[in-house]
A and B are shown apart, each in its own frame.
Chain A
Amino acid sequence: MRRGVRTAVAIAGASALIALAGCTTDPSVEPADEGDGGGEESSQEWFDQELYDKQFEERDVVPEGPEDKPYLQMINPEMGETSEFKAEGEKKMCFANASISNPWRQTGWITMNEQLKELKKDGVITEMETRDAQDNDDTQIADIDYFISEGDCDGFIISPNSTAAITPAVERACETDKPVIVFDRGVETDCAVTFIHPIGGFAWGIDTSQFLIDNLSEGDKVVALRILPGVDVLEQRWAAADKLFGEAGIEVVDYFTEGDPAEIKKVVSDELAKGDVQGIWMDAGDGAVSAIEAFEDGGKDYPVMTGEDELSFLRKWKETEMTALAPVYTNFQWRTPLLAAEMIFKGEEVPTEWVLPQSPITAGDLDEYLDRNEGMPDGHYAKFGGEDMSGFPEVWQDRVIP
């Protein structure tokens, strides 16, 4: 008798646990599995109409600046005065980096170090001390505070790990009256001299979903492969794409894969077992090749696909001649912060918000970018922008992380 009661309690507990699991997620982030209506609701949390409209327009703006130096180009710049920072002599920059935990950041980090070598020759920026926060907010806050109190820094470069958490630390850096340069992810303060970033996540989402919509017809199915939830730059890509897919009547299911190719292959194989899939959308290109291989192994026609400018994807695209687009989250932005620092110490104006171009690689450019990056490893990013530096191409080919 008692045994029966305890078993019943265990089973009741287990089912409560499962029910509980169902409640733990905010209903507003449910993806659109049923019908069109849900599509717009699902990613509403991250949707910002004003920012969407701004980025929508910036996609078509011809950037100002030297044509052969995309890392110095700017979109709709509002220049800011920097004469207060003008100074003679050698300068030491302190760089609080969020992490080098993915191939995109690794590629950028290599490029940044090459840029530093070039700048040392000018005698302005002669030293850079770097702390890597390893994807941790607390570590990065401590890093910034260390730089402020003991770093002996002439200026700060900060690539924030997350937006809200790092804001107070950036403000403390600004209070030192030394120039602060923020790049990649943003913070909730405009105290920095310049904030350097490519157009943004909505532009990515618009470019990619528009490409799929143009190449598919209403009712076709797209599998969206996403890295993880809750990261603003990634959520904005999805928010824009999900909205446009919904409006165009494209059926879309989304999955989180953390960019693991084994996971991606399973997900795509299962989707192919359920029914035909006409398109693949990715919020970042990691593992793109295994998604394509799932179609090959399943004996299905290649999908229309958007990946990223990672070479593994570009090479597979070339080999299969599939219909594809490689959106770009401008990797050459890693050159700009040090160049901006030099301009600031020289007293030259820099944009308060430095928007770099972010144009996808199309079928027309594919060969050109493959040629330029011949011999580079698979995880290298085609638009890394370091072709004119003295370490090219060996440094990126050997990929020795500084």
Chain B
Amino acid sequence: MNASAAENRSDRLMTLVRRAVDPKGIVLVLLIVILTAIIVLNPSFAEPGSLMRFIQRVAPIAIVAIGQYFVIVSGEFDLSMGAVVTAQVMTAGHLIGEDDTKTGPVLVLMLGIGIIVGIVNGLATTLLKVPSFIVTLGTMLVIHGGVMWWTGGTATGNPAESFRRLGRGGIEGLPVVDLLPYAVLVLIAVIVFAVWISRRPFGQTVVAIGDNARAATFAGANVWRTKTFAFVLSSLSATVAGVLLAGYAGVHPSVGQGYEFTAITAVVLGGVVLGGGRGTVLGALIGAFTLESLFTLLNFTTVPATMRDAIQGAIIIAAVAYSGVIFAKRRKRPSASDIASAPDDATTSARVAEKPMTTSAGTPSSIPLTGGDGADRT
């Protein structure tokens, strides 16, 4: 009895260890390690109020990463996100100005811009068959150039406080957290929506298309409509991030610059595979949090300013390389334990054994957190 309990515990320990070295788990471990390091360096970071402020700051990047997830998992790229963020921030600064009453109409206009950009990206990619890398690079330049031409490179000023409150303010006077930033609420809403939609047929189809568009077509999936919708989700997420950033940071043409690459990095860090077919919303979310806490950690250390980029880059490569090595190995030699851990997914195991090099969308998920939204089980 005693012996079996001990065995049980060691079994559970083994499972935990296996999850930690699992390529999907590694980013979560990395996140926990980084957060712990931040708290050691600066204990006040662990206070609920500071944590809320931290989530508020990560919210725009996390939202953009979730949007980018849908595009990447469908096998495409969206490089226009950063430009959309900039465009939305500048639109807000330029059109709202100090006039509170314009907040509503301009918000609607911004959402409209987001939807149009997504549709253009999606249709050019799917119907005109231009690689999305080129399409979105093009829209990025068009949007950026257009905004610079329209605004002369600078906004008239920051938009009215009523607009900025969304990104800057929050519900005040709460117990424990003191201030609950609106950005945190927006982020939660986006996560709930993204997880929900990834469990809907759309979410399943988009992964299937990313895995094998031909097969998905034969199975009756509408490739162009699904991908276009993914692009619309992506540019809408950039719009929401733009609204938050205009509040958080204010209006400036450099807001949003480089966001497309931050988003792609976060998504890849979160275990989503470039080229599509595998990954989860929550993975992308954790990737974004990991990336941003890495930046914060470096702010808390005394690493010289000139060296920070290099260290960030090295850690990102190391984390992604690690999961790459593990995945490649696993694909070559599916071990007995892998099959045993997913008895309900026998078809997948069979597929892996039969065609070892496939990038299977059905790789059994051994960590419940990332598998929770079901997007990687097509």
Contacts and interface: CB of A to CB of B under 8 A. Distances in A.
A254 B307 contact: no
Contacts of A293: 168, 250
Interface residues of A, number: 62
B249 interface: yes
B250 A25 contact: no
A44 interface: no
Interface stretch (A10-18, A76-84, A345-353, A382-390): A10-18
Contacts of B326: 7
B153 A102 contact: yes
A228 to B, nearest CB: 10
A372 B275 CA distance: 55
Contacts of B307: 21-22, 24-25, 30
Interface stretch (A138-146, A198-206, A263-271): A263-271
B304 A399 contact: no
A10 B322 contact: yes
A237 interface: no
A29 B306 contact: yes
Contact of A25 (B153, B257, B310): B310
Contacts of B93: 378
A114 interface: no
B329 interface: yes
Nearest to B296: A270
Contact of B42 (A6, A226, A229, A274): A274
A297 B178 CA distance: 13
Contact of B154 (A31, A255, A378): A378
Nearest to B157: A378
Interface in A242-277: 253-256, 258-262, 264-267, 269-271, 273-274
B318 interface: yes
B254 A20 contact: no
Nearest to B317: A17
A7 B20 CA distance: 13
A261 B157 CA distance: 14
B314 A34 contact: no
Interface string A42-62: 000000000000000000000
A17 B314 contact: yes
Nearest to A266: B57
A1 B376 CA distance: 30
B249 A265 contact: yes
A25 B329 contact: no
A380 B154 contact: yes
A177 B370 CA distance: 70
A7 B325 contact: yes
A20 B311 CA distance: 9
Contacts of B152: 106, 110, 377, 379, 398-401
Interface in B33-50: 42, 44-45, 50
A289 interface: yes
A379 B305 contact: no
Interface residues of B, number: 53
B63 interface: no
A97 interface: no
Contacts of B251: 378
Interface in B290-329: 295-296, 299-300, 302, 304-308, 310-311, 313-315, 317-319, 321-322, 325-326, 329
Contacts of B325: 6-7, 10
A48 B171 CA distance: 52
B252 interface: yes
Interface of B is mostly: helix
B149 interface: yes
Given A258-B254, A265-B248, A293-B168, A21 B158 contact: no
Nearest to A380: B154
Given A24-B307, A270-B296, A312 B44 contact: no
A48 B358 CA distance: 61
A253 B300 CA distance: 11
B254 A287 contact: yes
Contacts of B57: 265-266, 269
Contacts of A6: 325, 329
B44 A3 contact: no
A357 B311 CA distance: 41
B288 interface: no
A25 B304 contact: yes
Nearest to A14: B318
Interface in B248-306: 248-255, 257, 295-296, 299-300, 302, 304-306
A21 B310 contact: yes
Contact of A103 (B45, B154, B168, B299): B154
Interface centre among B310, B322, B329 (most CB of A within 10 A): B310
A107 B300 CA distance: 37
B249 A379 contact: no
A226 B311 CA distance: 19
B155 interface: yes
Contacts of A226: 305
B348 interface: no
Contacts of A17: 314, 317-318
A14 B157 contact: no
A271 B322 contact: no
Contact of A378 (B155, B254, B304, B319): B155
B148 interface: yes
B153 A103 contact: yes
A229 B306 contact: yes
A401 B153 contact: yes
Contacts of B253: 103, 379
A262 B305 contact: no
A22 B308 CA distance: 9
Given A312-B157, A379-B252, 9 more contacts: A14-B319, A18-B311, A26-B306, A258-B257, A261-B252, A262-B248, A273-B42, A378-B93, A378-B154
30 contacts: A6-B325, A7-B21, A14-B322, A17-B318, A21-B313, A30-B306, A33-B302, A229-B305, A260-B252, A261-B250, A261-B252, A261-B255, A262-B245, A262-B248, A265-B57, A267-B299, A269-B53, A270-B300, A286-B254, A287-B249, A290-B250, A312-B157, A312-B158, A377-B152, A377-B154, A377-B155, A378-B93, A378-B158, A401-B148, A401-B152
Q: Which are the 9 A-B pairs with shortest beta-carbon distances?
A: A379-B154, A399-B152, A14-B318, A262-B249, A261-B249, A21-B310, A21-B314, A270-B299, A33-B302
Interface of A: 3, 6-7, 10-11, 13-15, 17-18, 20-22, 24-26, 29-31, 33-34, 100, 102-103, 106, 110, 226, 229, 253-256, 258-262, 264-267, 269-271, 273-274, 286-287, 289-290, 293, 297, 312, 315, 377-380, 398-401
